[in-house]
Amino acid sequence: MVDPKTKANRMCKSRSAIATTTASASSSSMAAAASTPRNHRSPRTTTALPSSYSYSTSSSTATSSANSLAALRDSLPDLPLLFTFQDLAAATANFSSSHRLVPAAASSSNSFRCSLRGHPAAVFRRPLRRDAREVSARSAVLGHCHHAAIARLLGAAASLDRTTLFLAYELVPDAAPLSALLRNPKNPSFTPLVSWHSRLQLAADVCDALYYVHLQADTIHNRLSASSVLVCGDGPLFRAKITHFGSADLAGELPADQKDEEAKGPEHRHTSSRGRRIEGKRGYMAPELTAGGAPSRRSDVFALGVVLLELVSGREPLRYELVNRATGEYERTSLIEAAGAAAAEGGGEAMRWWVDRRLRDSFPVEAAESLTALALRCVAKDPLARPDMSWLAAKVSKLFLEAQEWAGMFRVPTDISISNAPR
């Protein structure tokens, strides 16, 4: 019998996962009796079998037990696959242009679609800035983290020269980036996200996912943007999944000790003195990142605040418009500044001007003010003034429930029939 305390892999479990009593008991028995790493339980629920426990010698009992264990094993998620570089190169035809995730992308595209052991997958290429020998162990930990609003990490592999990391994720079917749904360049006046309720559902999903990344997976995302939020499902309520989970961690973009780093003030925080290149997308990078600071949970919260403002307004984080063609002068419009100006007006008409007009005023003004105020707290210049995800996720969840009630009050009844026939 293997003592559960000796198991090396630390398992992460979604807050939304609910296990039945029978499944939990069977999972405990299987973990104690087998040495394979098919344990998806939280370490806090580990129980050891009594020393007097023994398998029955009855063939019927043994067959029944084997069938039960096999059924339970099949119901559990697959373990993360530790691919080799050759596996990924073969699946993508040596990363050919025919396998690009975005067909119109340039030849230097860093994303590819393929099939890995029968599963559709998306493969991303990142510079590797950590010891390649650490990638396997860390990906085994992150690969056991599962959440409904996070695109699952399938595995990772380093290139032969140990300078590039390839990350494989589940390919979410029929999904589109949030940025494309909010801002379609071919039809700017249209969006499928036409209800306040649907946008609050996406906001709640993203907040819940980032809460899990910070407090359950114990890492930093550092890739959050409207482009990295996938919207999937059928209307009227779409669901969100955040992508690139574990990318910054595995690629070596995070400080060695995240907790010590976040405890310091911004003036003492670690910079890229060891040659770390700060990764980020314009409009979503917190001020301390642009100043050379290290990624942190607070910089993740900043990016989340920008995404929340996008859900309220439909606008992009930064916009540049040509105002003088002769001089090449551009006018810069900041989403954060526009939100701050609308909030300073005290709501009312200013808030109606600020909220996405494609919602056609079908939204509770007070709720829009509350979500805007929460988002502005997230994008505070001082990192210490930004809220943590446990508090923020609870607040957004409450706003979602209120949006659900609000939508129910204005839903057209479907159990009433109207006849125009003469009486």
CATH code, 108: 3.30.200.20
Residue 157 and residue 105 share a domain: yes
Tokens 């006849």 correspond to what residue? 419
Contact 157, 147 (CB under 8 A): no
Calculate mean pLDDT across residues 144-152.
94
* Predicted structure pTM score: 0.76
Inside any domain, residue 109? yes
Angle at 72 between CA 69 and CA 73, to 5 degrees: 85
Domain boundary among 171, 201, 228: 171
Pairing mode of beta strands 229-232, 176-177: antiparallel
Residue 180 and residue 124 share a domain: no
Of 227, 199, 228, 200, residue with least CA distance to 213? 228
Domain boundary among 133, 151, 171: 171
Helix axes 297-313, 365-378, angle to 10 degrees: 150
Pairing mode of beta strands 318-324, 229-232: unpaired
Inside any domain, residue 182? yes
pLDDT at position 58 is 47
Residue 86 and residue 123 share a domain: yes
Residue 387 and residue 246 share a domain: yes
223 vs 413, which has greater pLDDT?
223
Say yes or no to pLDDT of 53 above 90. no
Phi, psi angles (nearest 5°) of residue 387: -75, 160
Domain span including residue 145: 78-171
Residue 199 and residue 85 share a domain: no
How many domains does the structure of the chain reveal? 2
Residue 391 and residue 326 share a domain: yes
Give the amino acid at 300.
Answer: D
Contact 299, 288 (CB under 8 A): yes
pLDDT at position 351 is 86
CATH code, 179: 1.10.510.10
Q: How far apart are CA 31 and CA 303, in angstroms?
A: 39
pLDDT at position 320 is 77
Q: What is the mean pLDDT of the chain?
A: 79
Say yes or no to pLDDT of 49 above 70. no
The most confident of 36-50, 253-267, 329-343, by mean pLDDT? 329-343
pLDDT at position 39 is 40
Residue 293 and residue 195 share a domain: yes
Inside any domain, residue 211? yes
Residue 326 and residue 206 share a domain: yes
Inside any domain, residue 331? yes
Helix axes 196-215, 365-378, angle to 10 degrees: 30
Calculate mean pLDDT across residues 380-401.
97
Q: How far apart are CA 22 and CA 32, in angstroms?
A: 16
pLDDT of 82-106, one tens digit each? 788 999 999 999 999 889 987 655 4
Residue 203 and residue 239 share a domain: yes
Q: How far apart are CA 311 and CA 187, in angstroms?
A: 18
Inside any domain, residue 21? no
Least confidently predicted of 75-89, 182-196, 390-404: 75-89
45 vs 178, which has greater pLDDT?
178
Say yes or no to pLDDT of 309 above 80. yes
Helix axes 389-409, 196-215, angle to 10 degrees: 160
Helices (H), 258-388: 258-263, 287-290, 297-313, 335-344, 349-354, 365-378
Of 19, 40, 18, 3, residue with least CA distance to 140? 40
pLDDT at position 327 is 73
Domain boundary among 120, 154, 171: 171
Contact 69, 26 (CB under 8 A): yes
Residue 205 and residue 142 share a domain: no
Say yes or no to pLDDT of 10 above 60. no
Residue 189 and residue 91 share a domain: no
pLDDT at position 24 is 45
Residue 329's Cβ-count burial label (10 Å; 0-12, 13-18, 19+) is: exposed
pLDDT at position 332 is 79
pLDDT of 215-237, one tens digit each? 999 999 999 999 999 999 876 78
Inside any domain, residue 418? no
Inside any domain, residue 61? no
Contact 219, 261 (CB under 8 A): no
Inside any domain, residue 314? yes
pLDDT of 232-247, one tens digit each? 987 678 999 999 999 9
Strand order in the sheet with 119-127: 111-116, 119-127, 164-170, 153-158
pLDDT at position 193 is 93
219 vs 37, which has greater pLDDT?
219
pLDDT of 247-304, one tens digit each? 999 999 998 755 545 555 544 444 433 445 566 788 999 999 999 999 999 999 999 9
Question: What contacts 4, CB < 8 A, 6 or more positions away?
Answer: 31, 32, 39, 43, 46, 47, 48
Residue 238 and residue 127 share a domain: no
Instruction: Please list the helix, strand and coil fractions of the chain in percent, rounded to the nearest 5, in that order.
Output: 40, 15, 45
pLDDT at position 108 is 53
Calculate mean pLDDT across residues 23-41.
42
Share of the chain above pLDDT 90, in %: 52
